[in-house]
Chain A
Amino acid sequence: MLAKRIIPCLDIDKGRVVKGVNFRNLKDAGSALKNALFYDKELADELVFLDITASWQRRKIVINLVKRVSRKLFIPFTVGGGIKNLEEIGDILRSGADKVSINTHAVRKPDFVTQAARRFGNQCIVVAIDAKKTSAHRWGVFIEGGRKKTSLDAVSWAKEVEKRGAGEILLTSMDFDGTKDGYDYGLTRRVSRAVKIPVIASGGAGKPEHFYEVLTYGGAQAALAASVFHYRRYSVKYIKNYLKRKGVEVRL
């Protein structure tokens, strides 16, 4: 049986892991490579590096990071953050990453998703969606790290990127991100039911039950979390053992 995946996410600024609440108040959480190897040992199924570095050297820093990590890490990893052109995707994949995640630029230029999937294959194009509840049953899509509201509806946007060839959706609830109150199960369930490609749920993990809920009721194929792992509140292994006891298929 296909196992449900647990994915630690590392927000990266200039090669260091950082973490904030609701995209604010960033704190240092150690070196990226060290964190990556630590999670590999803990049986993380994949890793996601979201690069938030805002400087002209950004690209060089990311490529160096990917090269360093991929020499020692033999599980899949995704790199995202500010990706705007096919050349950059090519550079990142050639340096050793398995997937890239695209967010803002996919919204601005949806054809970018189509082109990227055609050129590099669906399986390596992840579209990240930052969603926020705007009314009872509606979630709006936000871009630029959650700073800018768009007119898109999260569920229809998910369907569109699937049609355009995205291989996975990384769905973050902005309302729950950093709160540790649990994932947005309603949002995750809606999006998972609307598409056939895997959905990675993100934002709000605080307890083992949260992972269980989002992977069962929420219908997600994978659950991503950051602070709950970085501050060593729970280990990846602990979460996976918990899930296994509850009858969820995991790799242990």
Chain B
Amino acid sequence: MVVVVDYGAGNLESVKKAISFLGFSVCFSNRATDIKKADKLILPGVGDFSWGMKNIIKRRMREELVRFIKRGRPFLGICLGLQLLFEESEESGRIRGLGILKGRVKKFRSRKLTVPHMGWNQISIQRRRDIFRKIPDNSFFYFAHSYYVVPEEAELTAAFTDYGIKFSSVIVKDNIYAVQFHPEKSQKAGLRLLENFLKAV
């Protein structure tokens, strides 16, 4: 069973619908026991880093999440779900992230840029991973965010996206897959990426 972690984030429903559309059985859960039993885990989310982290802690899911990922089980983080894997964010004050990956979450700062970075942008594939099967380089995906991750290890970046600066839009490390865009809202390319995670990984 694919489990979508429910910690109160807004776009859970779309993630679930996309997975059902692809023909996989999926459920929401906010219980540590379900996370433990999951075949695959998806951490979605939009919005505020500290709000997201507080909710994960409040529902006592933090430890089980970390354990699941460290056990080498297939994990997909989407948008905020990508950012929460890191240690800290500029928006979070003293609240720390899951700290599974080394690095920080920073805000887009430029006079010329429209923020949030909202709409369709391309990914430039740096390392061909199984998650990109049948996805051409420079495919468009849908983004909606004001913050981006800066991983300490450059090899984590499987694809980057150019928005005035080049930021990591796909992270792959062993069993960890995480994307800054919303595959569930990125039409064919997005569904393909989700299917790759569900099938091949």
Q: Which residues of A contact B (CB under 8 A)?
A: 1-5, 40, 45, 70-72, 74-76, 93-96, 98, 120-124, 167-168, 196-198, 221-222, 251
Contacts and interface: CB of A to CB of B under 8 A. Distances in A.
A153 to B, nearest CB: 22
Nearest to A41: B187
B121 A70 contact: no
A124 B47 CA distance: 9
Given A1-B162, A75-B185, A96 B114 contact: no
A72 B185 contact: no
A66 B6 CA distance: 20
17 contacts: A1-B122, A2-B117, A70-B14, A71-B17, A71-B21, A74-B186, A74-B191, A75-B187, A76-B185, A94-B12, A96-B17, A98-B11, A121-B48, A123-B46, A167-B144, A197-B115, A251-B140
Chain A CB count within 10 A is highest, among B10, B116, B145, for B10
Given A121-B10, A196-B113, 19 more contacts: A4-B119, A45-B119, A71-B21, A74-B190, A75-B186, A76-B142, A76-B144, A94-B12, A95-B13, A96-B13, A98-B14, A98-B185, A122-B47, A122-B116, A123-B46, A123-B47, A123-B145, A196-B114, A221-B114
Contact of B10 (A3, A120, A196, A222): A120
B78 to A, nearest CB: 13
Contacts of B17: 70-71, 96
B11 A3 contact: no
Nearest to B140: A251
Chain B CB count within 10 A is highest, among A3, A121, A122, A124, for A121
Contact of A75 (B13, B117, B142): B142
Contacts of A93: 10-11, 13
B146 interface: yes
Nearest to B14: A96
Nearest to A40: B187
Chain A CB count within 10 A is highest, among B117, B118, B162, B163, for B118
Contact of B116 (A72, A75, A167): A167
B47 A121 contact: yes
Given A2-B163, A120-B47, A123-B47, A74 B119 contact: no
B18 interface: yes
B88 interface: no
A3 B121 contact: yes
A3 B146 contact: no
A45 B185 CA distance: 10
B140 A3 contact: yes
Given A124-B46, A221-B119, A70 B13 contact: yes
Interface in B135-186: 140, 142-146, 162-163, 182, 184-186
Contacts of A197: 114-116
Contacts of A222: 119
Contacts of A196: 113-115
Contacts of A95: 13
B14 A123 contact: no
A3 B18 CA distance: 23
A96 B18 CA distance: 11
A3 B161 CA distance: 12
